[in-house]
Structure formats: structure tokens, C-alpha cells
Structure 1
Amino acid sequence: MTNRERNIQINFRVNEQERDLIYKKMHESDVKNLGAYLRKMAIDGQIFKLDNSPLREMNTNMSRFSSNLNQIAKRVNSTDTIYTEDIQEMKEMMVKIWQSQKYILSKLP
């Protein structure tokens, strides 16, 4: 045991419900090794698993908005005309972006 990086052992006892809860939280955090999970929790106290899919969706919507805005700007510069449909489309895209942002902010601690 002297050749191990971690040569000090710490033991503690739990009941069945506590064990099940520990394994459930370990599974939710995508940690496969119980020792690594318990060590991480004992040292840092918390493990966060972030879902970035709402951010990716918002980035996609913002990219579409930017592309559409550039296309509209080109058309306005060449024809000196802006269409009601263009303005409505931009408003709808902004609503999607704001909804994504509100969702993301509502999920933050």
C-alpha cells in the first residue's frame, strides 16, 4: 500500500437509504467511481453538471437573427425599402431569443 498515491483510508457507515441516495447522486453527476465521487464531494462539497443545450439553442437563434438582419440591411441599402414582413420576422426572432434567455436565467441558482 505504500506505493499508492492515496495510502490513507477513511471509512464511514451509512444506512440503506443514504447509500441509495449517494449512488443516485453519483449517477446523476456522471461519475462512475464511488471513491472519486466521495473524495470530490468531501473536498469540494458540490459537483455541478451543466446542461448547455439552452445556450446552444440561444446561440443558434442569435446567429439566425444576425444573418437575417444582414440580409435585410443589404436589401434596404440597395432598394431603400424595408418590408413589414421583415420587421415582423425580426420581432418574432427576438421573442425566441428573449424566451431562451429567460429560461436560462430561471434555471440558475
Structure 2
Amino acid sequence: MTNRNRGKQLNFRLSETELEKFHENVEKSRLKQSEYLRKCILEKDIVIIDEIKELMGELKRIGNNLNQLTRAVNSGEFRNIDSLEMVKNELEVVWNEVIQALKKVNE
């Protein structure tokens, strides 16, 4: 839907505390204020997973390790099975953290 179809405007007042909370929620949602409010008003779910940024960093690091191991295996240089086991364990830990974060969404 384009802005041209949204000709109506809504104004309301908030206390300082409410405004701070509103700005925090908008920032966490990574939506524009108007998008955030439309989702709230239209009763759409707004899902915020605080831990996701940290988990994405961990997944990238593990993915880099996995790529390095794959190159070593393909080039015939792979000699250390412990490295593979370590990456497998790291993936299990991060996967469990992802599952826990998703459970929070479904609460």
C-alpha cells in the first residue's frame, strides 16, 4: 500500500516514560515508527529477538571455520579430526541458543 492511500492522520499524547518505551520498542523492532504503529493497531505480531544479532555473529564465525575445514578436506590437507568435532560442538551450542530464542517468540 502506498502513502497516497494513507491520507488519514492519527495524533495522540504520551507521557515521557511512555514515549521512551515507545522509542525503545520501535528501535528494537527495526521498523519505522509509522510501520510499527500500523502493525500494533492492525494486531499483527511484532516479534523482537534481542539475542539474534549475537547469534548471527556466532553463526558467521562458525561458518567461516566450516569453510576453512571444507577447503582443507577438498585439497587433501585435512589431518585434524578434532577441528571438525569442535565445529560440530559449536554448531550444536548455537543451534540450541537459536531454539531458545525462538521459544521466547512463541510464549
Gaps of 5+ in 2: none
The residue that corresponds to 1:40 in the other structure is: 39
Between the two proteins, the alignment pairs up a number of residues equal to 95
TM-score normalised by structure 2 residue count: 0.59
1:1-109 mapped onto 2 (5 Å cutoff): 4-31=4-31, 33-43=32-42, 44-48=44-48, 50-51=52-53, 52-71=56-75, 74=76, 86-109=80-103
Identify which of structures 1 and 2 has the higher relative contact order when contacts are C-alpha pairs closer than 8 Å and 6+ apart.
2
Q: In the superposition, relative to structure 1, how do residues 65 and 97 fare at CA in structure 2: closer, same or farther (>3 Å)?
A: farther
TM-score normalised by structure 1 residue count: 0.58
Percent sequence identity over aligned pairs? 19
The residue that corresponds to 1:80 in the other structure is: none
Gaps of 5+ in 1: 77-82
Aligned-partner SS, 1:45:
coil
Instruction: Work out the CA distance in 1 between the residues paired with 2:62 and 2:98.
Output: 9
Alignment RMSD, CA only?
3.0
Does the 8 A contact of 1:61 with 1:97 survive in 2? Answer: no
